[in-house]
Amino acid sequence: MRRGWKMALSGGLRCCRRLLSWVPVLVIVLVVLWSYYAYVFELCLVTVLSPAEKVIYLIFYHAIFVFFTWTYWKSIFTLPQQPNQKFHLSYSDKERYENEERPEVQKQMLVDMAKKLPVYTRTGSGAVRFCDRCHLIKPDRCHHCSVCAMCVLKMDHHCPWVNNCIGFSNYKFFLQFLAYSVLYCLYIATTVFNYFIKYWRGELPSVRSKFHVLFLLFVACMFFVSLVILFGYHCWLVSRNKTTLEAFCTPVFTSGPEKNGFNLGFIKNIQQVFGDNKKFWLIPIGSSPGDGHSFPMRSMNESQNPLLANEEPWEDNEDENRDYPEASSSLTMETET
């Protein structure tokens, strides 16, 4: 009886946690809906007097708004991609691994299993990266998300503002969402500013629209500053072909730690996220190359290309032995298990 109550309580807590995880998304949705009303109705239809100006403002606003909401939708509802079955331990291997009490034998068992898989990264101690919660050998750049309770391919971070884990399947959409968010806020701020000044100087009558216009500029500028910093940081990550996790903790390969292990050069780094076809770069359609389980590495390219072998490596100021930072409200990180 007591066990049944505990299970019911645990299930209720999980349900409450799932519901609460949607609160940040709901906040963003409400702010966006209000901004749409304030801009379209209170600014364009009530405050702006010139018919030509109304039409121009509305056309460009809705063009940006469509891509902004489209990329936000894709960031939220594109499920994180998990490792395929060949990285999971078979039933017999799992049983053999769990029954083995000697750590050195367990370690050797994982090494033998990993020989059949395209994995080249290791833990800080040089062991095969293994998730004891999902019971799988982690592919390169894969990490376990404690919020999603699963391993995510090329995990970047868990974002509460989209209530989703950002990884291989939706990183392109997340970057596009940031870009269109910055553009959305910038467009609102620049077009509202003129009427903000007029209201401030008393050149327009103090009606209900005044509050919406004044507050719209304030909210747009506030979000623009925070978003442009976040977007700039992720642009830097893309230019170096790094994830947020890899920026804080240097990946360890079979040959040792390598800060630029996945750095293929500026253009190729961008193509690793957006694909080779440039006409899809601005559209939220999946175009990232590969399957998320393995990635081209700089060390391999250098061994195959003598021109790259003589190239000076890029310098970073990051400490190779830096640990993961503590989890914050906007970023959830996973440590090796």
Going from the C-alpha of 94 to that of each of 100, 106, 139, 146, 291, the distances in angstroms are 10, 11, 17, 21, 25
Residue for token pair 């442009």: 228
DSSP notation for 246-265: HHHS--EETTEE-TTTT---
Helix boundaries (H) for the chain? 2-20, 23-37, 51-77, 91-99, 103-114, 171-201, 208-240, 244-248, 266-274, 298-304, 306-309
| Strand-by-strand arrangement of the 256-257 sheet | 121-122, 252-253, 256-257
Going from the C-alpha of 323 to that of each of 44, 122, 174, 222, 318, the distances in angstroms are 51, 15, 25, 31, 11
Active site residues: 159
Query: Nearest 10 degrees: CA dihedral of 31, 36, 39, 40?
Result: -160
- Cβ-in-10-Å burial (0-12, 13-18, 19+) of 61 comes to buried
